[in-house]
A = this chain, B = another copy of it.
């Protein structure tokens, strides 16, 4: 079974139907053990992805403040080979970024063949925060859903696997986590009135997310809804999803590597024969 819910094309997403506290009956310890095993498998799959160099992986993380995007990234990086894996945080756009179309800054950061890019926030902000705060006219953000689908299709056609995660937390859990920050001096830098103000738009965000998850789910680039009130379950669900998305390619990558190996050996043999001959 999959711990995250994979949205299907045609689904009309209602976030209230998904329990952010879901943990599939697992204990924290059990979940951590499972994550450990899956993480190890993920690491070896990523090695293959890199070595075969045919496919690349784009992981998109979205979620409200405190939903655990940073934590999820830390969890992935525990296992990932950081040589071929980059984390790209998308902040408030710079003036240079705003002077281009909304996909310009994102397209630059897409992964090259064999590599992994993890987007901490993404082009989806342009139909989320931008929509909630009316930063552009409705007719502008309305056409972005289609533009996003076309852009993702372009990436897919050049061998990019796209995994999109919505970290789903409850409003109560967010409150706990914001209050938690106030107690922890090492998290003081994260304190902001803005977070509490943003929380007032909770319902608008839910609407915007439901639309994004509904309209930007395609067969090849679906959204995954990750119950995230329990951090350990969130990490498990994401790791599992990555592993299960990469696993079907294993044979293909292995075959490609073997073929490359055979060719490399031939070259080597030629070189050695030449050396002996001279």
Contacts and interface: CB of A to CB of B under 8 A. Distances in A.
What is the count of identical protomers in the complex?
A: 2
B158 A154 contact: no
A102 interface: yes
A83 interface: no
B100 A110 contact: yes
A101 interface: yes
A104 B103 CA distance: 11
Contacts of A158: 100-102
Size category, A interface: 20 to 34
A53 B98 CA distance: 12
B104 A110 contact: yes
A1 interface: no
A113 interface: yes
A99 B150 CA distance: 19
Q: Which of A53, A96, A153, A157 has the most CB of B within 10 A?
A: A157
Interface of A: 53, 96, 99-104, 107-108, 110, 112-114, 140, 143, 147, 150-151, 153-155, 157-158, 160
